[in-house]
């Protein structure tokens, strides 16, 4: 049992190293993922921010949580693309003929998504600091924010795995991410939901992005979080469990 576990984690580390080398050999992937959210942040803060009433003088503080979620939703599209490429090139079948754990290649892609999106989040945070973002949160709230972002990334990564394993074309592998990228626009990420028409407000207040954004915003500002953090965790864990089950089902079909 210990030997099997040892091989399993060794195989995963090898697959992670393989995927990360692909990332660092084409840094334009991370640059592309960062550019759009940063451009959106610049646009909303310096062009539109003055016309948006959020009840705060520092709009970048209000905006940042939603921008981070948009960046993650954009970044996971590349996970689906890399997974789809491995399937189409026969990499899956080639590794399955070798004496390694059958799921190691899949976990390599999942962990690569976690690492690459973490790098993206750090870059955007640094740009936000230059733009005036400030937080009064202590260590524990920051750790809570990091945990929420990690859960959100993991949940969407398993959604990306489903697409990468099931898509018929390269375009189809990443197309699933478009609705996820635009979902923050119909939430409290950019404006308070109170300003929306009743039907739009009902949707905005009952979708995952609003709960996650509100929880992160409260944590970073040192305000009481209330039930938002539990709703955020429930959404992230629920999406992750359901997506994982469907992803593993798709993986078993592909590996059969």
Contacts of residue 100, defined as CB under 8 A and 6 or more positions apart, other chains included, come to 7, 11, 14
> How far apart, in whole angstroms, are the C-alpha atoms of residue 145 and residue 132?
19
* pLDDT per position as a tens digit, 139-179: 999 999 999 999 999 999 999 999 988 888 877 777 888 88
* pLDDT per position as a tens digit, 88-125: 877 776 766 666 676 777 888 889 889 989 999 999 99
* pLDDT per position as a tens digit, 196-245: 899 999 999 999 999 999 999 999 998 888 899 999 999 999 999 999 99
Contacts of residue 104, defined as CB under 8 A and 6 or more positions apart, other chains included, come to 8, 11, 12, 14, 15, 95
Q: How confident is the model at residue 28 (pLDDT cuts 50, 70, 90)?
A: low
- Domain span including residue 77: 2-255
**How many folded domains does the chain comprise?**
1
What pTM, to 2 d.p., does this model score?
Answer: 0.88
> How far apart, in whole angstroms, are the C-alpha atoms of residue 176 and residue 165?
13
pLDDT at 27: 65
């Amino acid at each position: 049992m210990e030997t099997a576990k040892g091989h399993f984690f060794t195989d995963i580390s090898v697959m992670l190293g393989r995927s990360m080398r692909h990332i660092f050999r084409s840094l334009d992937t991370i640059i592309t993922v960062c550019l759009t959210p940063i451009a959106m942040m610049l646009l909303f803060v310096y062009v539109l921010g003055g016309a948006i009433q959020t009840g705060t003088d520092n709009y970048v503080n209000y905006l940042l949580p939603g921008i981070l979620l948009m960046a993650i939703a954009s970044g996971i599209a590349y996970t689906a693309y890399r997974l789809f490429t491995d399937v189409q090139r026969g990499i899956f079948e080639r590794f399955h003929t070798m004496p390694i754990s059958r799921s190691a290649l899949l976990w390599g892609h999942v962990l690569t998504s976690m690492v690459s999106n973490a790098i993206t989040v750090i870059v955007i945070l640094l740009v936000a600091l230059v733009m005036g973002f400030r937080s009064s949160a202590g260590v524990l709230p920051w750790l809570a924010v990091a945990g929420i972002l990690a859960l959100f990334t993991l949940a969407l990564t398993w959604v990306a795995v489903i697409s990468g394993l099931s898509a018929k074309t390269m375009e189809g592998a990443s197309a699933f991410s478009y609705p996820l990228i635009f979902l923050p626009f119909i939430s409290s990420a950019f404006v308070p939901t109170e300003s929306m028409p009743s039907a739009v407000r009902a949707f905005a207040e009952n979708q995952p992005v609003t709960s996650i954004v509100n929880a992160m915003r409260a944590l970073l500002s040192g305000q009481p979080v209330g039930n938002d953090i539990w709703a955020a965790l429930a959404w992230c864990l629920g999406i992750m469990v359901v997506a994982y089950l469907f992803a593993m089902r798709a993986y078993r079909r592909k590996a059969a």
